[in-house]
Amino acid sequence: MSGPTKWIYFDGNALTWLWDWYTEVRQEARTGAAREASPFAHAVISDFVIDEIVTNQIGNAYKKHLALLAIFPDIPVLVSLESADLAAAQTDRELLVRPADFLAKVVATRSLAVAGHPEALHGLAEDIANKQDRINADKTRAIEYASKRQRVPFDEAVAAVIQARRLDPRHSAHDFFQLCTMLYDLETKRFIDRPAHERKGAGRLLNQQIDHYHLTYLPFVDEFVTGDVVLARNATDLVRLVGLQTVVHATSSYLSEWMREQLLA
């Protein structure tokens, strides 16, 4: 594929869950498949999605999900927006795409680790250790939480950040990125009012930060698919509040829509 006519962004949960389903239903896809005929026909992912998949201990699930990236090495990978020229990307979003061979190189390196290559195994172990160091640091980080009286609904938090920072997230991808960054900070301090079961504790702050990085791609993609209920709600609310045209799906609803399209094709 030379590139998708539309971009559908998948987070790590959505990508791997759909792959697990797809290879159960169509077992031949485990060794090769046409991306155009799969749920991933218009997929784009990011550096963060790749990290979610390949920076883990090697096991059966790891090998299965690495196979997804190996079978579809032409899935466009978007750079982290922290280092991107967002003003230029608003005019030409293709500027966000990594070189065409980027994903194949990642897969090749991790495949060597799966095969037991010492240097590749060392690199994987180092990456896992660095991630764990960040998680351990978060667990011991002193955070002053907002009192229950100070907490506000998500909509109010978005409005407050936009007003305080004088942001224009509808027309500026840079401002939208700043909005997501500030919302992450408010989440960690519990200024955003949520039920206790929806909050992510100190040991999952990295996971929460990555969720907010996923959100930063909303202005650039046509659709956004996630397997996380809270992330799906946040994405939907941001699209509504900011006035974006992006369509947000939970993984199951995306799959249902894709299956319906296949039946009508």
In percent, how much of the chain has pLDDT > 70?
Answer: 95
CB 214 within 8 A of CB 206: no
Average pLDDT estimate for 7-28: 91
Quickly state the pLDDT bin for 176 (edges 50, 70, 90). very high
Q: Are 10 and 227 in contact (CB under 8 A)?
A: no
Say what the pLDDT of residue 3 is. 46
Any idea where the domains of the chain sit in the sequence? 8-142+221-264
Provide CB contacts within 8 A for 47, sequence distance 6+.
Answer: 77, 78, 79, 80, 98
Instruction: Answer yes or no: is pLDDT of 1 > 60.
Output: no
SS3 180: helix
Assign 103 a pLDDT band (cuts: 50, 70, 90): very high
Confidence band (pLDDT; 50, 70, 90) for 220? very high
Q: How many other CB atoms are found less than 10 A from the CB of residue 123?
A: 15
User: How high is the pLDDT of residue 26?
Assistant: 78
Q: End-to-end CA distance of the chain, in Å?
A: 20
pLDDT at 122 over 70: yes
Going from the C-alpha of 174 to that of each of 44, 206, 223, 236, the distances in angstroms are 20, 22, 19, 19
Q: What is the mean pLDDT of the chain?
A: 92
Strand order in the sheet with 77-78: 77-78, 43-46, 8-10, 223-226, 247-250
Inter-residue contact 14 to 226 (CB < 8 Å): yes
Residue 104, helix vs strand vs coil: helix
Determine contact, residues 203/227, Cβ cutoff 8 Å. no
Q: In terms of DSSP H, where are the helices of the chain?
A: 12-25, 47-54, 60-71, 86-91, 102-114, 118-140, 154-165, 173-188, 205-215, 229-242, 251-264
